[in-house]
């Protein structure tokens, strides 16, 4: 069983969609299925779509500043599953109780136009007492409701997102194609961007809204909001990736490499001619200079240890004298 919950602004649009037959081709006026919708439960309301819209809007005026008074829940059974109408009505009542709108206006409608039988519940978030049904943690609430209804009505159990599963079931990973696509698009945009402005332009070209505040989030074409941190790309990660690209580019500039190469070349040439200069200075053959042990490095011995040893021997000679 799969549940979906959204909030909206218009009772008219939501109720007319749920109560009317769906038209596949508006030009030809072809219906998907005649009489696809059947009302199975009214709560503190009655009538056809226009009467319901009027009743819902009258109560809505108790909270005029509320932008989204519509609560729309969809509960879908699995393919091949079915329940009698009184069980579906019972499921709608359980949903209203668990989500906290059992005393508000709501209507439950059964749809039979897909392979998955499902019910729509349209509720008024504004109650007769003027209080508003909370929309916080809606996804967690609907997931919990679905798991309860699966057990109650002996339906096929569907794994919910890991965050809503008990600990013993969190080992089962669920692939979220929407997040995987977002992750890939972010990675590709970072690869071809030199700075944050270019990155944001690339993401907008891929039809994402980019919301940057203290963190970063993205909204796709279906208006689904996803934080960057949920797909491994927080704002800090994105900025760090772009900064590293800039640093790497600066280090690979030819102008910065050439002087360093010249300095190393001069150092090698200086080391190569050093024995000749020393031979000329002391008047010895070059071969003697080359074979002479270095005071600064003898088989990896620390030069300071050699200096201390020379001082010790010098003191011993003075004692004998």
DSSP secondary structure letters along 246-280: HHHHHHT-HHHHHHHHHHHHHHHHHHHHHHHHHHH
In this prediction, what percent of the chain has a pLDDT beyond 90?
Answer: 50
Range name among 97-101, 216-220, 257-261 with the lowest pLDDT average = 257-261
Average pLDDT over residues 283-312: 55
Task: At 207, list the tokens.
Answer: 């039809």
CB proximity list for 298: less than 8 A, separation 6 or greater: 306
Task: Find out whether 159 and 172 touch, Cβ atoms under 8 Å.
Answer: yes
**Would the CA dihedral through 13, 15, 21, 24 be positive or negative?**
positive
- Residues 108, 94: Cα–Cα separation, whole Å: 12
pLDDT of residue 298: 43
Helix, strand, or coil here: 224? coil
Task: At 234, list the tokens.
Answer: 């927080």
User: Which ranges constitute the DSSP H helices of the chain?
Assistant: 11-19, 49-60, 85-99, 138-152, 177-191, 196-205, 235-251, 254-282, 286-291, 303-320
Range name among 47-56, 131-140, 160-169 with the lowest pLDDT average = 160-169
Max avg pLDDT among 134-143, 155-164, 202-211: 202-211
**How far, in whole angstroms, is CA 141 from its chain's centroid?**
21
**How far, in whole angstroms, is CA 187 from its chain's centroid?**
12
Q: Please provide the distance, in angstroms rounded to a whole number, between the alpha carbons at the two ends of the chain.
A: 104
63 pLDDT above the threshold of 50: yes
Q: What's the pTM?
A: 0.52
Residue 286 banded pLDDT, cuts 50, 70, 90 = very low
- For residue 41, give the H/E element and its range: strand 37-43
Average pLDDT over residues 233-237: 93
CATH class for domain 2-169? alpha beta
Task: Find out whether 31 and 24 touch, Cβ atoms under 8 Å.
Answer: yes
Average pLDDT over residues 243-271: 63
Residue 80 banded pLDDT, cuts 50, 70, 90 = confident
pLDDT of residue 177: 76
- For residue 71, give the H/E element and its range: strand 70-76
269 pLDDT above the threshold of 60: no
- The predicted-structure confidence for 176-201, as pLDDT tens digits, reads as follows 678 889 999 999 999 999 999 999 99
Query: So where are the chain's domains?
Result: 2-169, 177-251, 286-321
- Residues 59, 313: Cα–Cα separation, whole Å: 106
User: Which ranges constitute the DSSP H helices of 1-125?
Assistant: 11-19, 49-60, 85-99
21 pLDDT above the threshold of 90: no
Q: How far is CA 240 from CA 90, 191, 234, in A?
A: 53, 13, 10
Residue 122 banded pLDDT, cuts 50, 70, 90 = very high
- The predicted-structure confidence for 301-311, as pLDDT tens digits, reads as follows 556 666 777 77
């Amino acid at each position: 069983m799969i549940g979906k919950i959204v909030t909206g602004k218009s009772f008219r649009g939501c109720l007319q969609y749920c109560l009317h037959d769906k038209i596949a081709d508006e030009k030809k006026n072809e219906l998907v299925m005649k009489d696809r919708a059947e009302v199975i439960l009214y709560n503190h309301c009655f009538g056809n779509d226009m009467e319901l819209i009027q009743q819902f809007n009258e109560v809505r005026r108790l909270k005029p500043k509320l932008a989204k008074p519509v609560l729309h829940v969809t509960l879908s059974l699995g393919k091949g599953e079915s329940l009698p109408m009184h069980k579906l009505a019972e499921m709608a009542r359980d949903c209203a109780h668990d989500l906290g709108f059992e005393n508000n206006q709501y209507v439950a409608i059964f749809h039979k136009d897909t392979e998955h039988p499902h019910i729509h519940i349209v509720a008024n978030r504004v109650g007769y007492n003027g209080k508003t049904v909370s929309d916080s943690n809606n996804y967690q609430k609907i997931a919990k409701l679905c798991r309860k209804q699966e057990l109650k009505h002996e339906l096929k159990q569907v794994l919910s997102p890991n965050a809503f599963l008990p600990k013993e079931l969190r080992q089962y990973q669920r692939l979220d194609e929407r997040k995987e696509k977002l992750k890939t698009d972010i990675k590709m945009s970072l690869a071809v961007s030199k700075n944050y402005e270019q990155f944001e332009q690339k993401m907008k070209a891929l039809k994402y809204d980019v919301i940057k505040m203290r963190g970063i989030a993205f909204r796709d074409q279906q208006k689904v909001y996803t934080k960057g941190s949920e797909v491994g790309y927080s704002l800090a990660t994105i900025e760090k990736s772009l900064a590293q690209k800039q640093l790497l580019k600066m280090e690979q500039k030819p102008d910065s490499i050439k002087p360093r190469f010249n300095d190393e070349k001069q150092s090698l040439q200086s080391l190569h001619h050093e024995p000749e200069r020393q031979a000329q200075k002391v008047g010895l053959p070059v071969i003697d200079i080359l074979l002479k042990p270095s005071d600064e490095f003898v088989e990896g011995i620390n030069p300071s240890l050699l200096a201390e040893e020379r001082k010790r021997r010098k003191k011993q000679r003075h004692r004998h004298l």
